[in-house]
Structure 1
Amino acid sequence: MIKRLIAFFTFVIILGFSFQSIAQLTQEELAERGKWEKFLRTAKIIKGVDIGEGITKPKRLFFKKGDIEGSGVWKRPSGIDAGVFDKWECEIAAYEMDKLLGLNMVPPTVERRYRGRKGSVQLWFPLEISELERLKQDIPIPPDKLESYEKAIYLHRAFDSLIANSDRTLQNIRYTKDWRLILIDHSRAFRSSRFYTDKLIYGKYGSRKDKCFEKLPRAFVEKIKSLDFKKIRKAVDFYLTYSEIEAILIRKKFLLKEINEMIKEKGEDQVLY
């Protein structure tokens, strides 16, 4: 069992995102990801414990299937809670959009019932530190990881702008021990109100103009260009509403407009890689 556990968590660490390929999993890793989705859906729940952090009152569920054990974060926020928009379905939709765009920065997330209630469960990653903790402790990014770190930050800003994730805090930007960036907490994404369809969250014309996405992978931008209602619906199934999908497509236009303006101003090689 110990060997299987080591193999399981070794895969989990690898699964996040390789800086060498900028958030692109190998074909082997992509093939294995489906197995962990199935594990989260079908493994026996051994126990659930409260997690101290997070206003959505998440729980950590512990699973076992055969001789493999693992855990995940289970959430069930729904609709407007204390005046704040929260939906567990958005956690799953964010993961599916992550896969659709080839981002591969969001841990496997699926629907799972716990004590008779539907919710989302996300594979537990052995994450070393959050951006909040890094800044508090004044921990510098290693020089050999700095370029990759900056590219990963730009990538998450573009992704969060596309999905209108209004709750990307320093606490839910997390790093593995070798400084690979993992994105968690998307229950407040996919906003469709006018505030989130008139502009992006990040960027020159966004709500947070001081935080831009200066460089992006060509492959990622091409995937954004190819998005349409049918592709998104197929990816997210019915975890998003019609209006939430339409809002993504509106933001897609804003995002591509800003990227094109950056290319005209700086040159394509300075923006895309």
Structure 2
Amino acid sequence: MGAASMVKCEKIRCTKFYWLIIFFLIGLTVQAQQSSVFTTSSSIHVIGDVHGAYNEIQKTLTNLGLIDQQNNWSGGTSHFVCLGNIMDKGAATKKVMDLFIKLQTQAEQAGGQFHVILGEHEVMNLKGDRHGLSAEEIAEFSEDETTEQRQKAYQQYIQWHKLTQSEQTQTDFDTKYPVGFFAHQQAFGLSGKYGKWLLELPFIIKINDQLFTHGGLSQNIKLTDLTSLNKQLKSELLSYLKHWDYFLKKGQLGFDIPFEERAAYLKKLIDSPQKRTFMKNNRSLVLSTDGPSSYQGNSQCHPYFEEDQLAEKLQFWEASRLWVGNTSLEHGPSELSTQKSFAQQIVQQRLSEQLMMMNTELSSSKHQTQLWTATITPDGQTNFSNGSLTKQFQPEQAVKRHSRNVYNMSDEEIEQFMKTAEITNMIDTTEGKTKPFKVTMEKDGKVIHGIFKYMDTHPRSNRGRWRNSVNQADRYQYELAAYRLDRLLGIGLVPVTVARNIDGRDGIIQFWVDGLISLLQYNDDKIIYKGICDFNNQVNFLDSFDYLILNTDRNQSNVMFNKNDGQIWFIDHSKSFGTSSRRPKMLKKSNIKVTKAFRTALKNLTSEQLQELSPWLHKKQIQAIMNRRDYLVSGNF
């Protein structure tokens, strides 16, 4: 055998040996996971995101009676649950982790448990995503970083970016990567102290009849036993990290290539099993927005489709409630408050009390954090308090739609504003055949935009004898009827709409929602939908509402979503409210599924309530709504 062949053979043996070690370690790490299901007759204490707030978590644990003056466990057999995101944004993540590592061991020795859930920011740090990393967190590792470590990273930086070594290059490098950055990176690596610890933590656990995870449970999470689910997610994460580490060591990825760009770099490489596995891992559930550490649908998407989905999972796992923490709110320093009314905004329940959201109040000024705690007592009662001040309160019911109105105004306040504010500008639009106006309204220093519609092809058709020609009417009044019906059903997806006369012309003003993108734009520009709410669930919900009001004008140009989070809005209803019970043409092939939550809302709708629509609809149109309601409830339509 020639020398070249021997070298090639040795490379093959080394590569095989490398991957045997990798998969052996993956197996060991996955097998080393603790149980995912616990039972206890002691109290369970729950907090949301910590984000490096060491002083606050120390005070909270002390007030809960879980640690003593020496920061040792004193909670006996109690269970403590941190819902993840213990790092990033704060000043003392390293101290928090060291405290948690110690308390995990001490609590277990005392017969209790100190649970830490893997949150979105834990996964981010493991995969080298430093978007949330604060300067103070980097500085915590400055004494651990060696000169050799920095010099090696500097040389890699120059080579990867093909830079010339110079004083300016060195300055740019030092500015971008302060002292401590590479020690932090190493500590969160596969063999680092904190990397190894994080990889032992679960994504989801159950204590008694309560489920705990960081983000939420999407419909893509399999219904299997929790230990197997954690094993699957951990295996996906470990496989990604091992392959990322492989390409780093091969010099085929730079250490500073963002997570979102790594796959694009590797696409340029010659095909290999490692490359294919990395690409597959890059699309895995654990790293997607549907993974339990990142999913926000339970806390932000409409309950009329999220509630059914969560109920199915709770029933499968024999649980009554899911606790999540991935809903942190950021406020300016003047907004920090310990008042009960503000606390209720921080801790909220949703989806018929199946979901409890343990938000954390983060100030935009540095390191002012309020931690809110829940204590589930042995008799099943749940008490809520501000962890550092022990001020008790009760959570409020979360809004059905996550996005807030402009200026945090209520619907009623926006209605009053749009009825009375001065019209300071009107612009012609080219939308549709009716050519509505975009209007600007100003009052008390506030500016709100709206759309003014005035087309009425069948005036006063809500009165007197019914004419079948009204079934083809285009009336601005129907926008008001759709808005009121939307609110009667508790939907909240039709923008606020009011009647108003402008320059002697009767019409309606509907709140203008900025930053929308249509389904037509998605398709024409081949944009990939990346919203937090399931696309098909949202369109199905729109189809359900369109059938209820018999909207005959739905098309791709008026199916609208927020650009930033992909949440749907229901607009354009001026060609609705016919008297037929047959599906409109565009809904003939739609597989409309009425969710349990929406069916309940429909069942509760009464003829008496619908009389509120009589200023705009004929009694035959109102009866037709009830007829279609019955078909939707029965599922036979």
Instruction: Tell me, yes or no, whether TM beats 0.5.
Output: yes
Counterpart contact for 1:56–1:77, Cα < 8 Å: yes
Counterpart contact for 2:429–2:438, Cα < 8 Å: yes
Q: For 1:176 and 1:208, locate their aligned partners in 2 and report how far apart those are by CA, in whole Å.
A: 23
Q: 1:211 aligns with which of 590, 597, 605?
A: 590
1:183 aligns with 2:570: yes
Q: For 2:450 and 2:443, locate their aligned partners in 1 and report how far apart those are by CA, in whole Å.
A: 14
1:22-57: CA deviation from partner (whole Å, max 9, x where unpaired) = 58237x979711111111111011121111212111
What secondary structure does 2:449 align onto? strand
What secondary structure does 1:48 align onto? strand
Q: For 2:300 and 2:549, locate their aligned partners in 1 and report how far apart those are by CA, in whole Å.
A: 22
What secondary structure does 2:440 align onto? strand
Counterpart contact for 1:128–1:175, Cα < 8 Å: yes
Counterpart contact for 1:22–1:152, Cα < 8 Å: no
1:164 aligns with 2:550: yes
Letter in 1 for 2:478: C
1:63 aligns with 2:441: yes
1:148 aligns with 2:534: yes
Partner of 1:98: 486
| Deviation at residue 183 of structure 1 after TM alignment | 1.5
What secondary structure does 2:593 align onto? coil
| Deviation at residue 237 of structure 1 after TM alignment | 4.4
Q: 2:521 aligns with which of 116, 129, 133?
A: 133
1:41-100: CA deviation from partner (whole Å, max 9, x where unpaired) = 11011121111212111001110001001110000111259x952011100110111111
Counterpart contact for 1:40–1:121, Cα < 8 Å: yes
Partner of 1:266: none
Letter in 2 for 1:72: G
Letter in 2 for 1:172: N
1:247 aligns with 2:629: no
Letter in 1 for 2:517: I
Change beyond 3 A, Cα 1:31–1:115: closer
| Residue correspondences, number | 230
Q: For 2:586 and 2:511, locate their aligned partners in 1 and report how far apart those are by CA, in whole Å.
A: 31
Q: For 1:25 and 1:139, locate their aligned partners in 2 and report how far apart those are by CA, in whole Å.
A: 24
Q: For 2:426 and 2:523, locate their aligned partners in 1 and report how far apart those are by CA, in whole Å.
A: 31
1:19 aligns with 2:328: no
| Deviation at residue 226 of structure 1 after TM alignment | 2.0
Q: For 1:38 and 1:75, locate their aligned partners in 2 and report how far apart those are by CA, in whole Å.
A: 18
Q: Return 30-39 or 160-169, whichever deviates more.
A: 30-39
Q: For 1:228 and 1:35, locate their aligned partners in 2 and report how far apart those are by CA, in whole Å.
A: 26
Partner of 2:431: 53
Q: For 2:486 and 2:550, locate their aligned partners in 1 and report how far apart those are by CA, in whole Å.
A: 13
Counterpart contact for 2:437–2:452, Cα < 8 Å: yes
Q: For 2:430 and 2:300, locate their aligned partners in 1 and report how far apart those are by CA, in whole Å.
A: 29
Q: Which has the higher contact order (CA 8 A, sep 6+)?
A: 1
1:161-180: CA deviation from partner (whole Å, max 9, x where unpaired) = 01001111111111112101
Q: 1:42 aligns with which of 414, 417, 420?
A: 420
Q: For 1:86 and 1:211, locate their aligned partners in 2 and report how far apart those are by CA, in whole Å.
A: 24
Counterpart contact for 2:478–2:574, Cα < 8 Å: yes
Q: For 1:243 and 1:20, locate their aligned partners in 2 and report how far apart those are by CA, in whole Å.
A: 31
1:206-252: CA deviation from partner (whole Å, max 9, x where unpaired) = 87332122352x33211111222211112x24121111101111111
Letter in 1 for 2:577: F
Q: For 2:401 and 2:562, locate their aligned partners in 1 and report how far apart those are by CA, in whole Å.
A: 16
Give the structure with higher Rg (CA): 2
Change beyond 3 A, Cα 1:63–1:207: closer
Q: For 1:258 and 1:22, locate their aligned partners in 2 and report how far apart those are by CA, in whole Å.
A: 16
Partner of 2:338: none
Determine what percentage of the aligned residue pairs are the same residue: 27
Counterpart contact for 2:578–2:624, Cα < 8 Å: yes
Counterpart contact for 2:543–2:587, Cα < 8 Å: no
Q: 2:498 aligns with which of 99, 110, 115?
A: 110
Letter in 2 for 1:169: N
1:257 aligns with 2:634: yes
Q: For 1:73 and 1:224, locate their aligned partners in 2 and report how far apart those are by CA, in whole Å.
A: 29
Letter in 2 for 1:200: R
1:134-160: CA deviation from partner (whole Å, max 9, x where unpaired) = 111111222x64x62211111111111
Counterpart contact for 2:594–2:633, Cα < 8 Å: no
Q: For 1:73 and 1:63, locate their aligned partners in 2 and report how far apart those are by CA, in whole Å.
A: 11
